[in-house]
């Protein structure tokens, strides 16, 4: 009998097929408009590399409820598609038809019966190797840029907000919010126990959060109108920075942990490869009992890669490990994927420390939800 690792692990890079489930609740009388929009979407997505098949289903109990399922060769091609500007424009016609949506994504672990006939032979056996151990936490991030020269004003606004209620509903609770800046880029990482979408909607409705969002509006590089549902939807769709990998080491670190975020500017088209390399490094580090890193989460969208680490000791104590560059030639491999200038990143301690200092994001606020009474 195989013993499963007790490490907490989440990953889009295990190579297994992906099943995407989209639940939709349509406005009354919008079925025909929805079907027209879906036909356009279906034809577009059919030509996307990595897409295998999709199905459109209508509830037999409530005709306003619909289900779209799609299968993909693996998670990376789907994530590249769903985070693209092409996808934002393609799904735009659907929004006027839909009252509510929920998107779920699953790696295929087991299957019974015939596989999809259109799938290439080499994909039919590509299943998740073994179940991963979860911790009941959903991790997500949002990122956006502010106008150069306004960084200090924005940081002051974002650090001074009043935390909303942590309890969303009976099953959902906000666990932690960490906010960082790197130059004029803002990254807000959140941890949710339960339903991520319910938590995001809950937070957006809170007056203290709405006040902060309105206060930073004049400083944003991308215009938005929070009173216009379509404008707000497009902004937050483009701001989404999904977690593509998370790993927590076996056991508990006895020393107090500190949270850091590192920003990795990838070369054009290299964001996914960079995130995959960092994920592989973090998986290896999690198996070392001497590693100061208790957990790491990698967020990636296009060529934006952010790595969040909880660790003991100082970030600069082991620059290579902190950067995910430890091991022979890892710095050279990483340098080929980074947009860091012609000088690249060498494996010398001095250069590692220099790049670490450049990559480290400024912590604006880090808030844990108080325990429930």
pLDDT averaged over consecutive 10-residue blocks of the chain (373 residues)?
Answer: 60 94 95 92 92 95 96 95 89 89 92 62 72 91 97 95 87 94 97 91 88 94 87 89 91 75 94 94 84 93 95 88 78 81 62 87 92 64
pLDDT score of 321: 85
Q: Which of 55, 90, 108 is the last residue of a domain?
A: 108
Alpha helices in 304-347 (DSSP H): 319-323, 330-337
Task: Give the C-alpha separation, 56 to 332, whole Å.
Answer: 46
Question: Which residues contact residue 181 at a Cβ distance below 8 angstroms, ignoring those fewer than 6 apart?
Answer: 151, 154, 155, 187, 361, 362, 364
Position 127 in a domain: no
Task: Give the C-alpha separation, 233 to 353, whole Å.
Answer: 40
Position 371 in a domain: no
pTM of the model: 0.90
Question: Which residues contact residue 51 at a Cβ distance below 8 angstroms, ignoring those fewer than 6 apart?
Answer: 45, 70, 71, 72, 73, 77, 78, 81
Query: What value does the CA radius of gyration of the chain take, rounded to a whole number of Å?
Result: 21
Residue 308 sits in a domain whose CATH number is: 3.30.70
What total number of domains does the chain contain? Answer: 3
Name the 3-class secondary structure at 88.
helix
Q: Which of 242, 261, 277 is the last residue of a domain?
A: 242
Position 74 in a domain: yes
Strands (E), the chain: 8-11, 18-26, 51-58, 65-72, 98-107, 137-145, 173-182, 185-193, 240-248, 258-265, 293-301, 304-311, 362-368
pLDDT score of 4: 41
Strands 65-72 and 173-182: unpaired
pLDDT score of 373: 54
Position 152 in a domain: yes
Both 237 and 293 in one domain: the answer is: no
Both 355 and 331 in one domain: the answer is: yes
pLDDT score of 252: 54
Position 171 in a domain: yes
> Do residues 337 and 274 make contact, with C-beta atoms less than 8 angstroms apart?
yes
Both 247 and 236 in one domain: the answer is: no
pLDDT score of 85: 87
Both 355 and 274 in one domain: the answer is: yes
Residue 344 falls in which region: left (phi positive, over 0), alpha (psi -120 to 50) or beta: left
Dmax (CA) for the chain in angstroms is 65
Name the 3-class secondary structure at 220.
strand
Residue 219 sits in a domain whose CATH number is: 3.30.70.100
DSSP per position, 248-274: E-SS---SPPEEEEEEEEBPTT-HHHH
Residue 36: enclosing H or E segment and its boundaries? helix 31-45
Both 231 and 249 in one domain: the answer is: no
Both 225 and 255 in one domain: the answer is: no
Which domain covers residue 72, as residue numbers? 17-108
Both 250 and 203 in one domain: the answer is: no
pLDDT score of 229: 82
Both 230 and 274 in one domain: the answer is: no
Q: Which of 242, 269, 286 is the last residue of a domain?
A: 242
pLDDT score of 148: 97
Both 238 and 251 in one domain: the answer is: no
Q: Determine the length of the chain.
A: 373
Both 336 and 257 in one domain: the answer is: yes
Both 101 and 183 in one domain: the answer is: no
Position 144 in a domain: yes
Position 264 in a domain: yes
> Do residues 282 and 319 make contact, with C-beta atoms less than 8 angstroms apart?
no
Tokens representing 327?
Answer: 């091991």
| Closest C-alpha to 263, from 355, 366, 352, 178 | 355
Position 116 in a domain: no
């Amino acid at each position: 009998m195989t013993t499963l690792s007790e490490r907490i692990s989440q990953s889009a890079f295990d190579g297994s097929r992906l099943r995407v489930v989209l639940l939709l609740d349509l406005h009354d009388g919008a079925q025909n408009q929805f079907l027209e929009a879906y036909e356009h979407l279906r034809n577009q997505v059919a030509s996307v590399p990595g897409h295998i098949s999709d199905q459109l289903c209508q509830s037999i109990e409530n005709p306003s409820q619909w289900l779209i399922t799609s299968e993909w060769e693996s998670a990376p091609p789907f994530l590249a598609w769903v985070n693209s500007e092409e996808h934002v424009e393609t799904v735009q016609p659907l929004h006027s038809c839909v009252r509510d949506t929920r998107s779920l994504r699953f790696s295929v672990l087991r299957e019974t019966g015939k596989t999809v006939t259109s799938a290439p032979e080499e994909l039919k056996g590509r299943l998740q190797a073994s179940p991963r151990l979860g911790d009941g936490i959903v991790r997500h991030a949002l990122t956006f840029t502010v106008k150069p020269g306004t960084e200090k004003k924005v940081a002051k606004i974002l650090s001074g907000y009043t935390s909303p209620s942590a309890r969303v509903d009976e099953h959902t609770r906000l666990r932690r919010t960490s906010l960082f800046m790197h130059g004029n880029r803002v990254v807000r990482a959140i941890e949710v126990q339960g339903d991520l979408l319910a938590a995001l909607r809950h937070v957006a409705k809170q007056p203290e959060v709405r006040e902060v969002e309105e206060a930073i509006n004049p400083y944003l590089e991308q215009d938005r109108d929070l009173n216009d549902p379509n404008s707000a939807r497009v902004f937050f769709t483009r701001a989404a920075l999904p977690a593509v990998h998370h790993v927590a080491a076996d056991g508990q670190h006895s020393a107090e942990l500190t949270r850091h975020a590192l920003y990795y500017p990838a070369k054009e088209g290299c964001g996914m490869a960079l995130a995959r390399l960092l994920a592989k490094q973090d998986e290896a580090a999690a198996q070392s009992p001497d590693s100061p890193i208790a957990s790491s989460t990698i967020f990636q969208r296009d060529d934006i890669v952010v790595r969040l680490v909880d660790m003991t000791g100082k970030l600069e104590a082991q620059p290579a490990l902190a950067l995910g560059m430890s091991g022979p030639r890892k710095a050279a491999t990483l340098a080929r994927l980074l947009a860091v200038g012609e000088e690249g990143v060498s494996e010398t301690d001095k250069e590692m420390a220099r790049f670490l200092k450049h990559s480290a994001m400024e912590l604006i606020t880090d808030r844990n939800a108080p325990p429930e009474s």
